A and B are shown apart, each in its own frame.
Chain A
Amino acid sequence: AQTVTQSQPEMSVQEAETVTLSCTYDTSESDYYLFWYKQPPSRQMILVIRQEAYKQQNATENRFSVNFQKAAKSFSLKISDSQLGDAAMYFCAYRQEYGNKLVFGAGTILRVKS
């Protein structure tokens, strides 16, 4: 069974600075999808970024980028120019290529200091 591990229960970053959230996963599959979701106190899970395992190029979405290391089964999220609105719980998630369910990590709370 696939597992996702987020080893940082909590992280802090100063406004306008950069922070990296870690995620590792375990799978025997070669093709799959990885996601980062953001969950603010409103509970709404919001997609931040998505990576297809067959793509070598790291995904980017504005201030958000990933460092995808397939051999190491690592998928970290970098947030540049952090903003107060980035404060939330961040979840890393895995999905098999032909699967359906998402497997989530335990989450990392990100605090942004002004």
Chain B
Amino acid sequence: GAGVSQTPSNKVTEKGKYVELRCDPISGHTALYWYRQSLGQGPEFLIYFQGTGAADDSGLPNDRFFAVRPEGSVSTLKIQRTERGDSAVYLCASSPQGGETQYFGPGTRLLVL
């Protein structure tokens, strides 16, 4: 079966612009996670969905960041008024209900100029 997919693979934008990053989890996985990985660092948790609802959004850095998962499958991470410090790789992962292991997508590399 297909793994986690993320689009776009790379995104270049200008400071102040709005961007959307998409994640398509493994079919049937109810849990979905977003992480941000800055250069030379480990991924940092942003938000976790169980089904359609955000069960834990404690990692979102500020109110410019928002994520949705309206039908419990595909998720979109939305960043408003982008800043240069938002430049990073954004990773998405999914897991089955009750599963301990998270399966990651290839990430979206965001560059804010």
Contact = CB atoms under 8 A, between A and B. Distances in A.
Indicate, yes or no, whether A interacts with B.
Answer: yes
Interface string A43-74: 11111001010000000000000000000000
Contacts, number: 55
B30 to A, nearest CB: 12
Contact of A103 (B33, B45, B104): B45
Interface in A49-101: 50, 52, 91, 93, 95, 100-101
Contacts of B96: none
B103 A47 contact: yes
Interface residues of B, number: 26
Interface in A19-39: 33, 35, 37
Contact of B107 (A4, A43, A100): A43
Chain B interface mostly:
strand
Interface in B26-47: 31, 33, 35, 40-45
B26 to A, nearest CB: 13
Given A100-B56, A101-B33, A50 B42 contact: no
Q: Which size bracket describes the interface of A in this complex?
A: 20 to 34
Interface of B: 31, 33, 35, 40-45, 48, 50, 55-56, 59, 89, 91, 93, 100-107, 109
Interface of A: 4, 33, 35, 37, 42-47, 50, 52, 91, 93, 95, 100-107
Contact of A104 (B31, B40, B44, B109): B44
Given A100-B33, A100-B48, A105-B42, 6 more contacts: A4-B42, A44-B104, A44-B107, A45-B43, A100-B31, A107-B40
Nearest to B59: A101
B56 A106 contact: no
Given A33-B100, A47-B101, A102 B43 contact: yes
A101 B42 contact: no
Contacts of A42: 106
Contacts of B102: 102
Contacts of A50: 100-101
A80 B104 CA distance: 25
